Amino acid sequence: MTAIGLAQIAIILFAVIAAAMPLGAYMARVMGGERTALTPALAPVERAFYKLSGVDPTREQNWPSYTMAMLAFSLVGFLSLYGLQRLQGFLPINPQGLSGVPADLAFNTSISFVTNTNWQNYPGETTMSHLTQMLGLTVHNFVSAATGLAMAFALVRGFARNESSTVGNFWVDLTRAALYVLLPLSIVLALAFVALGVPQTLAGSAQATTLEGIDQVIALGPVASQEAIKELGTNGGGFFNANSAHPFENPNALSNALEIWALLVIPFASVFAFGRAVLDPRQGRAIAAAMAIVLIFGALFVYWAEAAGNPLLTDIGVDPSPGNMEGKEVRLGVSSTALFATATTGTSCGAVNAMHDSFTALGGLLPMFNMLMGSIAPGGVGAGLYGFLVLAVIAVFVAGLMVGRTPEYLGKKIETREMKLAMLAVLIYPLTVLGFTAASVMLQTGLASMNNAGPHGLSEVLYAFASANDDNGSAFAGLSGNTIWYNTTLGVAMFVGRFLFVIPVLAMAGSFATKKKAAASVGTFPTHGPLFVGLLLGVIIILYLLQYFPALALGPIVEHLLMAAGRTF
């Protein structure tokens, strides 16, 4: 670890927080239906959307209706994306002449993009036509992120409102999140990426003759426009197979810093927006602080692990001073790669600027644990905020048990129903992660996909299901996921991780909204100070370490010990 490496991490994180505060204030106005600086330009588009789709923006929905609208929209998205992939061979804007995507892969990819996961069992440049990338994948990058923000603000309204039967209107939330937040930021960022060297063309590829006279086909495409929303929407699906390690997706250190900034800024801004919406910015700052602590700890941990290099290679004479360079790019280096890996798994982004599969055992453990915790530091667009608020409810409940008072969060009593819903949400993850991982390592078809032997093989499978469940999408990419077994099970895990988590969350939103907001008294446990931040972190660590420690011990932890002992597989 070097001072310059630490400074790189500090500068990027500072830029995130500095931008997230004003952006949070803006987002609170957008999601509150208020007028903003962009209203004159965007209001006509917004009104046209409501008019054409027959939505009355003034009519609010109760939680079941809000949920049904979200599910209907997701189903339509799933079916249209599936159809587009299957039929791409017959459709235009396909300069490479790619044929239709097979059924199991199209199923997996459709769920993947509708759930904001962007798990990719395919190499982008050799599988998806430009039409599919634009009409399918880019569109879902926008709408799945906007759907996440909508659901988060439905929960925020549950806390903010007093005896209300409604939680907002899904169509209005979706439209405003996409039009006022995601689209303007994407336009600015996409143009910045082009200025830094990211291609943006409809051409399929360029033909070059290298200095040594060999033909080199260089894949191209509308990369910058997808790159921008890929990070901003915490989607993470790369245009190219190597994702943000590819020099066209991430040409230099500045584009790399900008990508990390973009994937963190909306999740942090959402938390500040939450503070404003409940009329107590301190509440948002406390949650942001807890998230930032997990993020910074993670980045330093990965940096420490990767900077040490791989002892097995040091033994045969490789200079360990640049760190573990297998799977990493020279221009990006170890420190900003460590921050990228932590940020992309601390959010549900899943973009990678290096191959996580080739990280050292402990360097790979942290991103995996980040996802097993549900990617909550600071979490995906929308998903991070609602995921963290569920944990806040559990933390307040634990505090209530300790002092023997009815727990309250933001003036809302937490009772049996809310606790059951919160537990239902957090217990769904281990069921699919551990269940599918166990099944995969017992089946020949599951084992055959591993790229690495020994404990690292188990890590590949565990990482895959953690990533799918959590709707993250990053991978220990050596695992050949494009098989019927993994396409299906990972698809199911992504579906469960998104929808079976968020339905209890929306039910909580409805339940909290109907409650009366109690005024704070001397006996109220304050949820904005360091004590609460500490309690929250304690609850998170205990909850998730207990669930996953045995699995992690068999994968990365035992691999670390064997690596130190010089064992190879």
Q: Which of residues 27-86 bind another protein (CB under 8 A)?
A: 45, 49, 52-55, 68-69, 71-73, 75-77, 80
Q: Which lies closer to another protein via its Cβ, residue 261 or residue 388? A: 261
C-alpha dihedral sign at 72, 74, 76, 79: negative
DSSP H/E element including 206:
strand 205-209
Q: Which lies closer to another protein via its Cβ, residue 207 or residue 416? A: 207
Q: Which lies closer to another protein via its Cβ, residue 229 or residue 508? A: 229
Cα separation, 322 vs 306, in Å, equals 9
Q: Which lies closer to another protein via its Cβ, residue 207 or residue 521? A: 207
Report the residue from 36, 39, 205, 514 that binds another protein according to the rule CB under 8 A: 205
DSSP reduced 3-state for 321: coil
DSSP reduced 3-state for 526: coil
Whether residue 344 contacts residue 298, with contact meaning beta carbons closer than 8 Å, is answered with no
Map the footprint of another protein across residues 146-185, applying CB under 8 A: 171, 174-175, 178, 183
Map the footprint of another protein across residues 533-552, applying CB under 8 A: none
Map the footprint of another protein across residues 260-319, applying CB under 8 A: 309-310, 312-313, 316-319
Q: Which lies closer to another protein via its Cβ, residue 15 or residue 398? A: 15
* CB 321 to another protein: min, Å: 8
Map the footprint of another protein across residues 411-430, applying CB under 8 A: none
* CB 178 to another protein: min, Å: 7
Stretch of 31-39, 224-232, 278-286, 533-541 lying at the interface with another protein (CB under 8 A) = 224-232
Q: Which lies closer to another protein via its Cβ, residue 69 or residue 106? A: 69
* Type of residue at 217: V
Per DSSP, the residues of 148-194 read HHHHHHHHHHHHH-SS-S--B-HHHHHHHIIIIIIHHHHHHHHHHHH
Q: Which of 128, 153, 406, 384 is nearest to 278 (CA)?
A: 153
Whether residue 554 contacts residue 462, with contact meaning beta carbons closer than 8 Å, is answered with no
* CB 397 to another protein: min, Å: 33
- For residues 317 to 336, the per-residue mask of contacts with another protein, x marking binding by CB under 8 A and - elsewhere, is xxxxxxxxxxxxxxxxx--x
| Angle of CA points 494, 146, 116, to nearest 5° | 20
Tokens representing residue 178 in the block:
């996409």
DSSP reduced 3-state for 130: helix
Map the footprint of another protein across residues 393-412, applying CB under 8 A: none
* CB 564 to another protein: min, Å: 10
* CB 551 to another protein: min, Å: 17
Q: Which lies closer to another protein via its Cβ, residue 211 or residue 442? A: 211
Cα separation, 407 vs 415, in Å, equals 8
* CB 217 to another protein: min, Å: 4
The pairing of strands 412-413 and 215-219 is unpaired
Report the residue from 28, 101, 152, 219 that binds another protein according to the rule CB under 8 A: 219
Number of residues that bind another protein (CB under 8 A): 131
Whether residue 388 contacts residue 351, with contact meaning beta carbons closer than 8 Å, is answered with no
| Angle of CA points 80, 85, 89, to nearest 5° | 130
* CB 444 to another protein: min, Å: 21
Cα separation, 492 vs 346, in Å, equals 22
Cα separation, 462 vs 483, in Å, equals 17
Q: Which lies closer to another protein via its Cβ, residue 209 or residue 521? A: 209
* CB 503 to another protein: min, Å: 14
Tokens representing residue 335 in the block:
């420190």
The pairing of strands 408-409 and 215-219 is unpaired
Q: Which lies closer to another protein via its Cβ, residue 200 or residue 511? A: 200
Q: Which lies closer to another protein via its Cβ, residue 162 or residue 252? A: 252
Q: Roughly what angle, to the nearest 10 degrees, separates helices 530-552 and 383-403? A: 110
* CB 391 to another protein: min, Å: 30
Q: Which lies closer to another protein via its Cβ, residue 357 or residue 471? A: 357
Q: Assess 188 for contact with another protein (CB under 8 A).
A: no
Cα separation, 175 vs 263, in Å, equals 21
List Cβ<8 Å contacts ≥24 apart for 90-94. Answer: 91/129, 91/131, 92/131, 93/129, 93/130, 93/131, 93/134, 93/202, 94/129, 94/130, 94/131
Map the footprint of another protein across residues 232-271, applying CB under 8 A: 240-242, 245-248, 251-254, 256-257
Cα separation, 135 vs 118, in Å, equals 15
* Strand intervals (E) in 404-464: 408-409, 412-413
Report the residue from 14, 59, 126, 516 that binds another protein according to the rule CB under 8 A: 126
Q: Which lies closer to another protein via its Cβ, residue 460 or residue 470? A: 460
* Type of residue at 567: R
Whether residue 544 contacts residue 391, with contact meaning beta carbons closer than 8 Å, is answered with no
* Type of residue at 490: L
* CB 229 to another protein: min, Å: 8
Q: Which lies closer to another protein via its Cβ, residue 73 or residue 388? A: 73
Map the footprint of another protein across residues 426-465, applying CB under 8 A: 451-456, 459-460
Q: Which lies closer to another protein via its Cβ, residue 204 or residue 504? A: 204
Count of other CB atoms within 10 angstroms of residue 195: 11
Map the footprint of another protein across residues 79-118, applying CB under 8 A: 80
Stretch of 102-110, 221-229, 270-278, 544-552 lying at the interface with another protein (CB under 8 A) = 221-229
Report the residue from 222, 267, 281, 284 that binds another protein according to the rule CB under 8 A: 222
Map the footprint of another protein across residues 341-370, applying CB under 8 A: 352-355, 357-361, 364
Cα separation, 349 vs 472, in Å, equals 5
Q: Assess 191 for contact with another protein (CB under 8 A).
A: yes
Q: Assess 506 for contact with another protein (CB under 8 A).
A: no
* CB 203 to another protein: min, Å: 7
